[in-house]
């Protein structure tokens, strides 16, 4: 049952008499058609169909049915009609179901009712259309009433068919039906659907048929075969519907897979109080704890649970209400988890005390639970450690390390009345944003860069685009398995669901919680882990990595598997300590200029900049800075004892340390008018000249990095002295230090040669003075195209290369990140001119070409060279995969991303070695 994420390339063996329809019981035939590949079966039947067939095969009680293949869907998409022979095969399969159930489709006395559901290879919850109770019409409804003696149930079912068929198949707005239903409940003076009696449902069914006719222009079809035909076609069509396409785009699912259509005997959870329906997970999807978790509703159909319209009961309560059913259910789901070796998400229906399984699939889960489940399953011996590592995505690690609210701030907010509501902790994480009351606005604001909390009474598949663009989701209805909760968990968006104390009024675009009113555009904070809703903004803090024991264990395994080393970018001792705690095995980028910006140093830095290069004044100012830098390096070296620390010499252009010319000009103009402080004016005017002299049209491409090192060598010399003074100091204190000096912005090997000579000279002097030997390395950033192109020469003078892919992306594309992202880059990604933002995901085609060239040439010229990456891509999983493939030695990223990088590196290595998650 090996499945991979690739779609099967299998072709039909014959076109004339192709099999378009497989009964659940025919799983062996489907498997044979797919040459024994379970992945092939999933591709052919869709995940839902394949699992129904598989459950049937292992003897679980599944209502009989059959699956129309994804190939039929794809053929339909191409030719615009059912493929030849498909309908006939549907009828044959239906006959077989009739035989199995003893019922007859369209029969007036003992009618077979079926559901029609989509099911693609990859689960797309709520994205595809479902129609229940097909086979009902006026006559068979009457027959059913006779048979079941339950008019209320029959007309509740019939009205559902009309409603679902009307909305899903014919495209009527759901409000048309729901508004009427709400009115009806008022008329009947009841609060819930369950209180409506048979007469009411009968009237409602008639009214629904009238609505149907009014909206569609035709009568509701009384021919069950017509119902079936239209429903299958609707599923096919929905594959290419906007919301399905959007979802696939967002989730990275290929558009050419197609969906299967599952036609299955209806069983009824709404046949009285010994009936019910529910969904459950074999483990807790938010925490991963090994307990059965789920919701059910007595006397309801499945859609009622998923849609979150009624708030259901927790599955544990079923043990009290129907202990025998519960025991059977527990046994089945445990068996399913064992069989699939994965946490399962199941749907079940109890029809008059009899348990049916309607679906099983790998369960969606939060990042936290995914990690715990993977680790515990590996420890239970169900899967291997390699599989465990492959079952957790770097994105999930990232979610787990999302910022959390500051506890103190939360308590203070609660104390001051800003905690305005509680709901289900549906998807963990802290989110702050402005309230947006519909998906379109949430999307619009989100794309414009606003942090948005999408606020809805409940969410529907149509809302997914807004949910994806939001920082958080708040609903007032539905539980932990509601649409909002499932989608939010999958995409790692914090979510509080079913916050019933909060009144969300979409029309007036406000939410009310007691006295508090929050209007659209006002700030809101939600804690998806605690289920709390706050007015205004709560400050966030970093997550507590130490307490994430399952993650720590998983990453420990990952460290055994990965071949890329993981370093961190850290400028201060505190960063370095955190990086180490997060598992960094070195500092890949320590920026030295941040130290220059500190308040107590900046005036000295400015005087130094304004002094004549090579002058005594310059030397004097640098002498003042030296102890500061030495302290900085001392702290970092100490924090990273025994591990390499790569220190980049000063990088930014000097004018970054100076005030802006415009600000000075305005001050000068002011002083001139007042006319009473000539000295200050003269000073400012002098400063303006100096600042003008330092200004550049394109500072990114100006006098910075090594160019500064060559034009004002004294600055670099001071930095190098500080490094070796700190190193020798620590060495005398018996702390092992591994300084590596990195030269930025090089474009010719001569720059590297010049700086390397400077480093070697100063190192020699200081080591001789102090009588201590320091092992060190000198390397260069490869962050300009020419550096990559001439990497063979660069390598001759370099102990290591570090690809600075931020700048390399800027120069390879000729795009300044500061200027581009807002001005055109997002639009480029949006309209597909670029597949991804190259500053987020390394552009393999362009930038990657240069990285590959740089590695190949560099290693050829200097086989001992160490090569890594220290751009932001170093913490991005797809980019890390590239780094692995291209043969780098290490990636370096921000401390918070180190765990992500450790996992991503391990996954790349495992995939490289042929491991899979299944």
Q: Which of residues 541-580 bind a second copy (CB under 8 A)?
A: none
Q: Could you tell me how many residues of this chain bind a second copy (CB under 8 A)?
A: 55
Q: Do 231 and 115 form a contact (C-beta atoms < 8 A)?
A: no
DSSP 85: T
In this chain, which stretch among 64-72, 149-157, 702-710, 729-737 interacts with a second copy, using CB under 8 A?
702-710
Q: Is 698 in the site for a second copy (CB under 8 A)?
A: yes
Q: Is 702 in the site for a second copy (CB under 8 A)?
A: yes
CA–CA distance, 839 with 910 (Å, rounded to integer): 26
Q: Which of residues 657-696 bind a second copy (CB under 8 A)?
A: 661-662, 665-666, 669-670, 673, 696
Q: Is 790 in the site for a second copy (CB under 8 A)?
A: yes
Active-site hit among 870, 883, 884, 893: 870
CB of 693 to a second copy, least distance (A): 9
CB of 662 to a second copy, least distance (A): 4
Out of 250, 789, 829, 861, which residue is the one contacting a second copy (CB under 8 A)? 789
How many C-beta neighbours within 10 Å does residue 784 have? 23
Ordered strands of the 430-436 beta sheet: 419-422, 532-535, 523-527, 430-436, 452-456, 472-475, 495-497, 424-427
**Is residue 255 annotated as a catalytic residue, yes or no?**
no
Q: Is 827 in the site for a second copy (CB under 8 A)?
A: yes
Give the residues across from 313 on adjacent strands.
296
Name every residue whose Cβ is closer than 8 Å to that of residue 125 and which is 6 or more positions away in sequence.
Answer: 364, 483, 486, 487, 490
CA–CA distance, 800 with 739 (Å, rounded to integer): 12
> What is the number of alpha carbons within 13 Å of residue 12 lying toward its C-beta?
14
Each residue 836-875 as x (binds a second copy by CB under 8 A) or -, in order, gives: -------x-xxx-xx-------------------------
CA–CA distance, 904 with 562 (Å, rounded to integer): 8
**Comparison of 27 and 671: residue with beta carbon closer to a second copy:** 671
Annotate 532-589 with DSSP letters as a single string: EEEES---EE---GGG-HHHHHHHHHHHHH--SEEEEE-SSHHHHHHHHHTT-SSEEE
Q: Is 713 in the site for a second copy (CB under 8 A)?
A: no
CA–CA distance, 709 with 653 (Å, rounded to integer): 11
**Comparison of 620 and 663: residue with beta carbon closer to a second copy:** 663
Q: Which of residues 605-664 bind a second copy (CB under 8 A)?
A: 661-662
Name every residue whose Cβ is closer than 8 Å to that of residue 379 and which is 6 or more positions away in sequence.
Answer: none
Angle of helix 151-164 versus helix 138-148 axis, rounded to 10: 150
CB of 247 to a second copy, least distance (A): 23
Residue 196, classed as helix, strand or coil, is: coil
Q: What is the dihedral of CA 209, 213, 219, 223, to 10 degrees?
A: -50
Reference 193, options 206, 208, 178; nearest CA is 178
**Comparison of 621 and 783: residue with beta carbon closer to a second copy:** 783
Out of 190, 245, 530, 710, which residue is the one contacting a second copy (CB under 8 A)? 710
CA–CA distance, 19 with 446 (Å, rounded to integer): 46
CA–CA distance, 336 with 59 (Å, rounded to integer): 11
Q: Is 501 in the site for a second copy (CB under 8 A)?
A: no
Q: How many residues does the chain have?
A: 918
Report residue 10 as tokens.
């299998």
Out of 91, 506, 689, 750, which residue is the one contacting a second copy (CB under 8 A)? 750
Q: Is 830 in the site for a second copy (CB under 8 A)?
A: no
Active-site hit among 422, 483, 655, 873: 483
CB of 814 to a second copy, least distance (A): 4
Q: Is 757 in the site for a second copy (CB under 8 A)?
A: no
> What is the number of alpha carbons within 13 Å of residue 807 lying toward its C-beta?
25
Q: Is 331 in the site for a second copy (CB under 8 A)?
A: no
Out of 194, 517, 703, 777, which residue is the one contacting a second copy (CB under 8 A)? 703
**Comparison of 531 and 848: residue with beta carbon closer to a second copy:** 848
Q: Is 699 in the site for a second copy (CB under 8 A)?
A: yes
CB of 656 to a second copy, least distance (A): 11
CB of 893 to a second copy, least distance (A): 23
Out of 812, 862, 894, 917, which residue is the one contacting a second copy (CB under 8 A)? 812
CB of 705 to a second copy, least distance (A): 9
**Is residue 402 annotated as a catalytic residue, yes or no?**
no
Q: Exposed/middle/buried for 830, CB within 10 Å: 0-12, 13-18, 19+? A: exposed
Q: Is 784 in the site for a second copy (CB under 8 A)?
A: yes
Residues that bind a second copy (CB under 8 A): 661-662, 665-666, 669-670, 673, 696-703, 707, 710-711, 745, 747-748, 750-751, 754, 783-786, 789-790, 807, 810-816, 818-820, 823-824, 827-828, 831-834, 843, 845-847, 849-850
Catalytic residue numbers read: 483, 870
């Amino acid at each position: 049952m090996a499945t991979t994420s690739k779609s099967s390339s299998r072709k039909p063996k014959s076109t004339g008499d192709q099999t378009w329809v497989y009964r659940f019981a025919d799983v062996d035939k489907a498997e044979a058609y797919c040459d024994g590949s379970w992945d092939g079966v999933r591709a052919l039947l869709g995940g839902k169909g394949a699992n129904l067939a598989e459950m049937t095969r292992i003897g679980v009680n599944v209502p009989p049915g059959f699956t129309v293949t994804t190939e039929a869907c794809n053929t339909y998409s191409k030719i615009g009609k059912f493929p030849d022979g498909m309908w006939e095969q549907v009828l044959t399969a239906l006959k077989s179901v009739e035989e199995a159930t003893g019922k007859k489709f369209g029969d007036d006395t003992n009618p077979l009712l079926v559901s029609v559901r989509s099911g693609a290879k990859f689960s797309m919850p709520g994205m595809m259309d479902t129609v229940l109770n097909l086979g009902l019409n006026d006559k068979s409804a009457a027959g059913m009433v006779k048979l079941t003696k339950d008019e209320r149930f029959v007309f509740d079912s019939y009205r559902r068919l009309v409603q679902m068929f009307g909305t899903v198949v014919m495209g009527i707005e759901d409000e048309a039906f729901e508004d009427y239903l709400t009115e009806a409940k008022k008329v009947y003076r009841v609060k819930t659907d369950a209180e409506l009696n048979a007469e009411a449902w009968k009237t409602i069914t008639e009214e629904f048929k009238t609505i149907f006719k009014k909206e569609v222009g035709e009568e509701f079809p009384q021919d069950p075969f017509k119902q079936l035909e239209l429903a299958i076609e609707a599923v096919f069509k929905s594959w290419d519907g906007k919301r399905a396409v959007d979802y696939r785009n967002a989730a990275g699912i290929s558009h050419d897979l197609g969906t299967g259509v599952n036609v299955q005997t209806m069983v009824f959870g709404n046949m009285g109080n010994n009936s019910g329906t529910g969904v459950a997970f074999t483990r807790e999807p938010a925490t991963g704890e090994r307990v059965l978790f789920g919701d059910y509703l007595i006397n309801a159909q499945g859609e009622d649970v998923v849609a979150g319209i009624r708030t259901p009961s927790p599955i544990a309560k079923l043990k009290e209400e129907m202990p025998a059913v519960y025991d059977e259910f527990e046994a089945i789901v445990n068996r399913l988890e064992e069989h699939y070796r994965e946490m399962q998400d199941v749907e079940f229906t109890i029809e008059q005390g009899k348990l049916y399984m309607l679906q099983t699939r790998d369960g969606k889960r939060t990042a936290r639970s995914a990690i715990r489940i993977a680790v515990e399953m590996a420890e239970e011996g169900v899967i291997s450690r390699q599989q465990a590592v492959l079952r957790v995505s770097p994105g999930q690690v990232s979610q787990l390390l999302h910022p959390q609210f500051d506890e103190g701030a939360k308590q203070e907010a609660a104390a001051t009345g800003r905690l305005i509501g509680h709901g289900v902790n549906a998807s963990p994480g802290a989110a702050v944003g402005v309230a947006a009351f519909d998906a379109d606005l949430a999307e619009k604001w989100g794309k414009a860069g606003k942090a948005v909390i999408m606020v809805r009474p409940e969410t529907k598949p149509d809302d997914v685009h807004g949910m994806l663009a939001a920082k958080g989701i708040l609903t007032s209805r539905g539980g932990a398995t509601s649409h909002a909760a499932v989608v939010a968990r999958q995409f790692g968006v914090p979510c509080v669901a079913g916050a019933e104390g909060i009144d969300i009024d979409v029309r007036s675009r406000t939410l009310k919680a007691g006295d508090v009113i929050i209007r659209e555009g006002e700030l809101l904070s939600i804690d998806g882990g605690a289920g709390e809703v706050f007015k205004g903004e709560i400050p966030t803090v970093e997550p507590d990595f130490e307490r994430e024991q399952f993650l720590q264990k998983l990453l420990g395994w990952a460290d055994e598997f990965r071949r890329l080393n993981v370093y961190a970018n850290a400028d201060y001792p505190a960063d370095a300590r955190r990086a180490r705690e997060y598992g960094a095995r070195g500092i890949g980028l320590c920026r030295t200029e941040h130290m220059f910006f500190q308040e107590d140093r900046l005036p000295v830095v400015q005087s130094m900049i304004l002094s004549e290069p090579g002058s005594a004044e310059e030397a004097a100012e640098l002498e003042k800075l030296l102890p500061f830098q030495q302290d900085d390096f001392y702290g970092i070296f100490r924090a990273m004892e025994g591990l390499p620390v790569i220190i980049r010499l000063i990088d930014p252009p000097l004018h970054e340390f100076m005030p802006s010319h415009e600000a000075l000009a305005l001050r000068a103009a002011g002083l001139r008018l007042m006319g009473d402080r000539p000295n200050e004016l003269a000073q400012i005017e002098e400063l303006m000249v100096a600042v003008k002299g330092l200004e550049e049209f394109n500072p990114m491409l100006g006098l910075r990095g090594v160019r500064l090192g060559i034009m004002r060598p004294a600055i670099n010399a001071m930095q190098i002295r500080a490094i070796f003074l700190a190193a020798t100091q620590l060495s005398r204190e018996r702390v092992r230090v591994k300084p590596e000096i990195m030269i930025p912005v090089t474009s010719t090997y001569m720059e590297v040669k010049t700086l390397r000579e400077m480093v070697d000279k100063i190192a020699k002097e200081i080591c001789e003075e102090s009588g201590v030997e320091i092992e060190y390395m000198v390397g260069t950033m490869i962050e300009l195209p020419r550096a990559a192109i001439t990497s063979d020469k660069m390598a001759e003078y370099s102990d290591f290369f570090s690809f600075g892919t931020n700048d390399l992306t800027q120069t390879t594309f000729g795009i300044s990140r500061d200027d581009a992202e807002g001005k055109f880059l997002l639009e480029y990604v949006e309209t597909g001119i670029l597949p991804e933002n190259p500053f987020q995901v390394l552009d393999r085609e362009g930038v990657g070409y240069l990285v590959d060239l740089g590695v190949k040439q560099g290693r050829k010229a200097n086989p001992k060279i160490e090569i890594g990456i220290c751009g932001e891509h170093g913490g991005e999983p797809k980019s890390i995969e590239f780094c692995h493939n291209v043969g780098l030695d290490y990636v370096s990223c921000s401390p918070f991303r180190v765990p992500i990088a450790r996992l991503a590196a391990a996954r790349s290595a495992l995939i490289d070695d042929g491991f899979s998650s299944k």
